[in-house]
Structure 1
Amino acid sequence: MAPDRGSSSSPDYHSISPPPSNPQHVDTDNMSERRRRSEARRFIASHASEGQNFTVRGILVGLGVGLVICFSNMYFGLQTGWVSSMSMPSSLIGFAFFKTLSKHLDLPFTPVENVLVQTVAGSMGTMPLGCGFVGVMPALNYMLKPEEQGPLFLSLWKLILWALGLCFFGVVFAVPLRKQVIIREKLKFPSGTATALMIGVLHGKETMADDPISRTTSRNQSTDEEPAQAYTAIEPADVEEVNKKLTSNWKANVKLLTVSFAISGLYTLATYFFPILRNLPVFGWTLAESWLWTLNPSLAYVGQGIIMGPATTTHMLIGAIVGWGILSPLAKNRGWAPGPVDDWEKGSKGWIVWISLAIMLADSVISLGYIALAPIVSHGGEYIGDAHRKIKRDDWKGLLQFKPRQNRTGYTQIGGREEVLTPLEETGPTSGASDEEIKDLPEPDAPSEHLVNNSTVWIGMILSIVFCVGTIRIVFGALVPLYATITAVFMALILSIMGVRALGETDLNPVSGISKLAQLFFALIIPQSNKNSVLINLIAGAVSEAGALQAGDLMQDLKTGHLLGAAPNAQFWGQIIGSAVGAVVSALIYRLYTSVYGVPGDLFQVPTGYVWIFTARLVTGQGLPHMAWQWALGSAIIFIITTCIRIVGNEKKWHPYIPGGIAVAVGMYNVPSFTLARAIGGFVNWYWKSYRRREETPIVVLASGLILGEGVVSIVNLLLASASVPHL
């Protein structure tokens, strides 16, 4: 399915047939649909004309918030591999900042400017993962063996160049996908929709472009924990009541964020002076010392568990119990992993990573394969859109035949391109379009002047790809063949389509699975006799992960912007700026942390680095520990079955009870102390939303404050460690 390149050359506003003349045959559903689309056009136009889609102050505040998130994500990423764009707290912090200064502002802080703030902040904040600093780079620096051309350390300027090379092409490639997945297919992107809802509530907006009727819930509000089912429309008469309930008072949310930030920060500072707080032997000293069963009562990890939800954290807990409670003692006692339990090379800690790796690969291949093939299998290649669309290509051509009414501005040819009507103007009747076809028409899009034009996309695509290939050549020289880098970039573009679709449908961007697929593919095209095969494999996987992450992040933000009437071109340039600054800052933060702390070490165990290097060694045929391949194969078969069951039962109530492969694998390769803290957060989420049946917004704000508090105060701990301040 070839995505539309999304510019003013394609009609964005579709005419809708007038209601039947006979009142007895009026279809109320279609009347409501027509009214909704008309209101959506007006909403988009009114906010697109606010004139504050792209501002210097919005960029600067976004970069300031992004800096905080960047430090936080580097800290947690080096510990467990988990990062978050923190879109909702970014919009809340941006709103609080401008609200405080409202008396001194020449222009008010608008929702579309808030969209810019959270776009810049999120793009900057995710660069520790996007540029490989929480996985690939530690693997290159500390885990490559001499026979694998390692360890390989880069100078600071090469580190920055590497990061800049990875941070652009995924952003540019996301632009052509926007019209297909957001405008035509209307994929949900639950987190992007939830962020739009929060921004709308903060600014007192009662409607959004995609649905002028407010929504009753936020992400994962439904009892079956499925994000795709989390939004339900309500009647217009209830809009005011629901908005009052959601709003409650933005000051209360800011206060909650501040208090949780302070408490988490104070606890983090205490852990520096009392390191025992990071690993409490809650199950006794024997299990703690011999089998690593401790609890890290980090409030930040509790916050992560709240955001992840009870289903995901329970699956992680299952992985920890199976991996560290069953497989680890079994491997140790049978002599399959004779070394100390916490030894990555000869201990059971490293042995069970192979099992988790097999589970991740099985889940990734099945899940991403389904996303890629479902539209083709469902429609035999004749249809465009997702598995539920019923409009053929030929039908689309007919439906896009517009006949403007007299005395109205229609489509005019200017320089060989069609110009669309402004959103406020009614279009004429659609030729031959039935009521069912009307329902399947795309959403109204932004005015053409607010879209990213084709020339920018194509020039940006070429330049970003050439820049990526060139920087990798400069950084690694002949160690990585030119053909391998070029292949990696184009494979990243293909895999990013799968990542975007997965994110839009499930709210999860499977970047870890995408990178593993890339590693598996490169094992097939790079001869095992090549002494650089492991290094090449790591670089190829990093490129794929970067492209998928950035494309998914921008698409999530574009969904938020579409719902609030923000200009896509402003978000695009905001993402470019945020990514560029984030790449440089991430390189500096990585060098700062690794120069002060031992990596891998007690604080930064870098488990994802070991997952990367073990995957590269596995697919390049370097062999597994004794009995590891038998258990890995068996686990892969089990999770091929469970993943297929999850796909079949995607909208069933029992879906959350089937373990997800990625979550189980994360619970296996992370030590139990982190998983137990996340499980506590998941229980808090369940208690608040399912048992108490309360609104989700307060606990999301609470969780965000807990995460940001530890991430920011970790900078203070870094300074204390660099000054050799003694522990107590």
Structure 2
Amino acid sequence: MSHGPSEERTEPSGSRTVGDQASSDGPTPTVPAGKSVAELTIKAVAIGLALNVVMLTANMYLGMRSGMTISASIPAAVISMGLFYGLRQVGIGGTLLENNIVQTMTSAGEALAAGVIFTIAGVTFLDQPIDIAGTATVAVLGGVLGVLFMIPMRRYLIVDKHEELPYPEGTACADVLEAGSSGDDGVKLISFGFLVSFLYMWLANGMAAFRTTIQTAFSAGETDGFAIGGDFTPALIGVGYIIGPKIAGYVFGGGLIAWLMLIPLLITGGFVPEEAADAALMTQAEAVWDAYIRYVGAGAMIVGGFYAIISMRETIVDALGTAGAELRGSAAAATESRKRTQRDLPMKVVVVGAVLVALALVAVPQVQVGLLGGVIAVIAAFLFVAVSAYLVGVVGSSSNPVSGMAVATILIAALAMKSTGVTDPVAVLVTASVVAIAAAVAGDTSQDLKTGYLLGATPRKQQLAQVIGIALSALFAGWVLYFFHQAYGIGSDTIPAPQAGMMALISEGVLTGTAQWGMILIGAVFACVLILMDVPVLPFAVGIYLPITLATPIFLGGLLRGGIDRYVARKDDEDGSLAEHVTSRGRIVAAGLITGEAIMGIVIGALYITGTGAESGAPFPLGLSGETQTVLGVVAVVTLVGLFVASVLRNTPDAADR
């Protein structure tokens, strides 16, 4: 799956693209491979662990409340820079790569939280209690698998596919850390994007001054249920700008197929769930998407995932061959002779670790998946780690469909277990939990490794930091989940945990024969057609699976990137320096937008947890009517786009003036 380099180039400013190293080995890292810099220090680990617990708690609450988590890498990097700045005032400094370790460890909590709340929390919908020890065990086993299986794929996805896979959050995080350490105009750009996004989301979610989600459903002739809309938040627009118009277009294309083709056909044909039959047209469309279209997306992702694995077969074979050589000891010296920036944890650690995790899945009583479940969990984890790591490189962690991969695992595991006489949906759910956690952690790990690749970090130290962060997150995950269940009740109006409820429903559905296999087959056939047309499958599948309200703002961000690039191309001279300058500015402002929304998400989560403000809705609502909120929402989006474009193009000279 190749993408045009003119649209998908993701190198930062000139410092990463000049010199012999840039021409032969990719971008020049901020910290050269031959330079030794403090990295995995006690100070960095302590700060990282503290922030890890905070992000874990905030994301578990927000995820069960809203159905989505927030990416922690960028806010962790910003908070870390602030802490290290304070430490420097008392004579205790911190290096760029220590900052990178902090964000690596912190983001582990956010990634693990997503896997836990989307799957393990589902046992409460099956009338089972939260098992604290069992949750910790499943979380740590799945998380470790995610890190281990990502190691042999790092060079292919992060290094070899550098230009094709932008890894938007990873690239943005590198820009944030680099700008913060250099003290140049980049700090002003990040600060501007941060403040705009922070204020925007406070007015929207903190005071209900306007709606970020603008959507509508309509009929055309005798066909009902056409739906379009978007959740126009700064982070999603920023992600779209970073990934560019081509990939954003694929995602949006999948959304159009789902919401302007499949859903109208199903609604007009009478396939509306009974509970939504008399509801408004938009509610009917959402119900059909939830009941049917998600299965179409899951089927497409299954085929697309396997196709991605087939496409990566040479890399996987090489990785397994390297593992065998290192286990025999013949490649150990070669591994140590690699440049610092190319040293991963030894492959024998990957192999032995994966075997131990597989044995633990079968032997540890708290897991209870059995031999078949353990085998399925490890194999599916390996496959979906690759899919997740590739997907987040395309559309970013915020749009990583972990729940879609969990659905695929549930379908496979339940079908296999049913054939052996298993009737307990909890066993299926726990098997899927291991895979979902592994996929979520792999997506996060790949973003962090992309950041490290651009900054010049040591992969081995980042991988160790990730494992340490996962271990702490896993220990707290069971207690945090138990606390929220006791305080609010998982499945209540306060924390409805929609993904967890869906996983429990599907687990029971497959075992009882009520799953939507026809829709899964439709998605699989659609993916096969895309493959025959040589069109990237996974971005389209993600667009089908995600709500149209996520695909649209990502596409808007991609359009902004395309429009700005075209505008600059008309003013640029032959050396392309102006285009490179503007692209770098845009990516840094986009990083600020992502950061501001993520930090505000934590603030709103803290208000909810402490009971500050109103019990439901925005903490401090202004009491505006729905129509007024919608109108102000349109004004807010237009203002946001205007400020973004102005900040990117500000003081842009004509070619004749340079």
| CA-CA distance at 1:717 after TM superposition | 2.0
Q: Equivalent of 1:139, from 98, 101, 122?
A: 122
Relative to structure 1, the CA distance from residue 640 to residue 577 in structure 2 (aligned partners, 3 Å threshold; closer, same or farther) is: same
Q: Say if 2:458 is the partner of 1:526.
A: no
| CA-CA distance at 1:371 after TM superposition | 1.5
Matches within 5 A, 1:151-550: 151-178=127-154, 181-182=157-158, 189-191=165-167, 192-204=170-182, 247-254=184-191, 256-258=193-195, 260-261=197-198, 264-265=201-202, 267-270=204-207, 301-308=233-240, 311=249, 314-315=252-253, 318=256, 321-322=259-260, 326=264, 329-330=267-268, 334=270, 337-341=273-277, 351-374=288-311, 384-385=314-315, 419=333, 445-446=339-340, 451-453=344-346, 456-457=349-350, 460-471=353-364, 473-476=365-368, 480-501=369-390, 503=392, 511-528=402-419, 530=421, 532-550=423-441
Is the CA contact (8 Å cut-off) linking 1:356 and 1:664 kept in structure 2?
yes
Q: Which residue of 1 aligns with 2:591?
A: 700
Is the CA contact (8 Å cut-off) linking 1:359 and 1:665 kept in structure 2?
yes
Relative to structure 1, the CA distance from residue 588 to residue 716 in structure 2 (aligned partners, 3 Å threshold; closer, same or farther) is: farther
Residues 87-114 of structure 1: CA deviation (Å, up to 9, x unaligned): 33432332233234323234x4222212
Q: TM-score, normalised by structure 2?
A: 0.69
Which residue identity does 2:297 align to in structure 1? M
Relative to structure 1, the CA distance from residue 489 to residue 372 in structure 2 (aligned partners, 3 Å threshold; closer, same or farther) is: closer
Greater shift, 158-167 or 696-705, is seen at 158-167
Q: TM-score, normalised by structure 1?
A: 0.63
| CA-CA distance at 1:54 after TM superposition | 0.8
Matches within 5 A, 1:572-587: 572-587=463-478
Report the Cα distance in structure 1 between the residues aligned to 2:162 and 2:539, rounded to whole angstroms.
28
**Bigger-Rg structure (1/2):** 1
Relative to structure 1, the CA distance from residue 585 to residue 322 in structure 2 (aligned partners, 3 Å threshold; closer, same or farther) is: farther
Report the Cα distance in structure 2 between the residues aligned to 1:60 and 1:529, rounded to whole angstroms.
47
Residues 116-155 of structure 1: CA deviation (Å, up to 9, x unaligned): 122111112211123x21x22343212xxxxxxx322224
What secondary structure does 1:530 align onto?
Answer: coil
Is the CA contact (8 Å cut-off) linking 1:291 and 1:324 kept in structure 2?
no
Report the Cα distance in structure 1 between the residues aligned to 2:226 and 2:277, rounded to whole angstroms.
8
| CA-CA distance at 1:53 after TM superposition | 1.3
What secondary structure does 1:168 align onto?
Answer: helix
Q: Say if 2:488 is the partner of 1:556.
A: no
Q: Which residue of 2 aligns with 1:122?
A: 107
Relative to structure 1, the CA distance from residue 362 to residue 467 in structure 2 (aligned partners, 3 Å threshold; closer, same or farther) is: closer
Residues 447-488 of structure 1: CA deviation (Å, up to 9, x unaligned): 79x6534565455444444444444x3254xxx334422442
Is the CA contact (8 Å cut-off) linking 2:367 and 2:430 kept in structure 1?
no
Report the Cα distance in structure 2 between the residues aligned to 1:662 and 1:139, rounded to whole angstroms.
23
Relative to structure 1, the CA distance from residue 460 to residue 373 in structure 2 (aligned partners, 3 Å threshold; closer, same or farther) is: closer
Q: Which residue of 1 aligns with 2:529?
A: 641
Relative to structure 1, the CA distance from residue 61 to residue 643 in structure 2 (aligned partners, 3 Å threshold; closer, same or farther) is: farther
Q: How many residues in Structure 1 have an aligned counterpart in Structure 2?
A: 558
Q: Say if 2:22 is the partner of 1:46.
A: no
Q: Which residue of 2 aligns with 1:661?
A: 541
Residues 347-394 of structure 1: CA deviation (Å, up to 9, x unaligned): 886554342233223311331222222356xxxxxxx4499x9xxx99
Report the Cα distance in structure 1 between the residues aligned to 2:155 and 2:517, rounded to whole angstroms.
44
Report the Cα distance in structure 2 between the residues aligned to 1:361 and 1:445, rounded to whole angstroms.
40
Q: Which residue of 2 aligns with 1:90?
A: 76
| CA-CA distance at 1:574 after TM superposition | 0.9
Is the CA contact (8 Å cut-off) linking 2:147 and 2:466 kept in structure 1?
yes
Which residue identity does 1:519 align to in structure 2? I
Which residue identity does 2:552 align to in structure 1? A
Relative to structure 1, the CA distance from residue 697 to residue 565 in structure 2 (aligned partners, 3 Å threshold; closer, same or farther) is: closer
| CA-CA distance at 1:503 after TM superposition | 4.9
Report the Cα distance in structure 2 between the residues aligned to 1:700 and 1:42, rounded to whole angstroms.
18
What secondary structure does 1:525 align onto?
Answer: helix
Q: Which residue of 1 aligns with 2:563?
A: 690
Is the CA contact (8 Å cut-off) linking 2:391 and 2:539 kept in structure 1?
no
| CA-CA distance at 1:260 after TM superposition | 3.4
Report the Cα distance in structure 2 between the residues aligned to 1:714 and 1:661, rounded to whole angstroms.
31
Is the CA contact (8 Å cut-off) linking 1:160 and 1:583 kept in structure 2?
yes
What secondary structure does 1:696 align onto?
Answer: helix
Greater shift, 562-571 or 512-521, is seen at 512-521
| CA-CA distance at 1:575 after TM superposition | 0.5
Which residue identity does 1:561 align to in structure 2? G
Which residue identity does 1:686 align to in structure 2? L
Gaps of 5+ in 2: 1-18, 219-223, 242-247, 569-581, 624-658
